[in-house]
Structures are given as structure tokens and as C-alpha cells.
Amino acid sequence: MSIHYQKPNYKCVKCEAFFLPFKKGIKCPNCGFIVKDTDSEEYLDVIDKIVSSMKVHKEIHGTYFPEVWLTAGYMDYMQSFIYRIFDQMEKDKPEDERKYFLDLLESMDWSNQEYSKKHVKEITTEVYKIYKTKNFLI
């Protein structure tokens, strides 16, 4: 069983880049266009949804990334990306976890989506803040 939280693919109205406007006042990571708060409302729970799915997957599968995963949209893409980062981090057990995942993201090939790197770092950092709390897997 895998937990997918579906969100419509959000596309910047100015440059058409895909991203998740997960907080009010967020700017498009590609062109800097400020997303209207009303447009981001549906996405404000993205961090909590990713965290809750991580918890379920870890309890059921022993890993964050489940054995079977279908990427049908940008939210699925983001979930799978973050799951794999946290699985790798727990496997490698780095002393400085935040630096570890930021370096890992920095070293990846972003090809024609270089703008996504900063955005994925932001979302991963928000997930990490919750991950570091004592009750993450309770």
C-alpha cells in the first residue's frame, strides 16, 4: 500500500513552470512571479501531507519509499523524491543530516529543470524540520 496525496499540477501563470505553492506569498522558483494567496490555498497542507505519508510508509514498509509507486503528477514526483532522500539519509547516517540532504540535492542532475532545485530544497527542509521532532514516528 502506498499513500498518494493528489494535488492538481500547479503551473506558473507567467512562465508555466510546475511547482507546489506550499506557502502564502511564494514566488515561482523559475521566474519569481508571486503566486496569489488564493491560488496557493489548496497547497498549504502539502508539507503535512508528505510527512503523514512518510510516517505511514515507514510503519508499513520499513522505508519511506514504498516498493510500488506510480508518479501521476507533480505531487507524486515530489513525494517520491523526498522519500528517497530520507531513506538514503537514514541508511548513510550522516553526522549533519541537513547538510547531507542539501549536498545530495545540489549534486543531482537537474537538466532542464534547474529551477526546481531550490524549490525541492525548500520543501525538503520543511519536511526535515518536522522529521527532527521527537514524535515523528510515534
- Predicted confidence (pLDDT) per residue in 16-38, tens digit: 999 999 999 999 999 999 999 99
Residues 6 or more apart in contact with residue 110 via CB below 8 angstroms? 116, 117
The answer to whether residue 12 is domain-embedded is no
- Predicted confidence (pLDDT) per residue in 68-85, tens digit: 888 888 889 899 989 999
Give how far the C-alpha of residue 35 lies from the chain's centroid of Cα atoms, to the nearest Å. 18
Total domain count, the chain: 1
- Predicted confidence (pLDDT) per residue in 82-118, tens digit: 999 999 999 999 999 999 999 999 998 888 888 899 9
pTM surpassing 0.85? yes
The answer to whether residue 52 is domain-embedded is yes
Residue-wise DSSP of 22-87: -STT-B-TTT-PBPPHHHHGGGTTHHHHHHHHHHHHHHHHSSSS-SS----SHHHHHHHHHHHHHH
The answer to whether residue 8 is domain-embedded is no
The answer to whether residue 10 is domain-embedded is no
The answer to whether residue 32 is domain-embedded is no
The answer to whether residue 104 is domain-embedded is yes
Domain residue limits at 115: 45-131
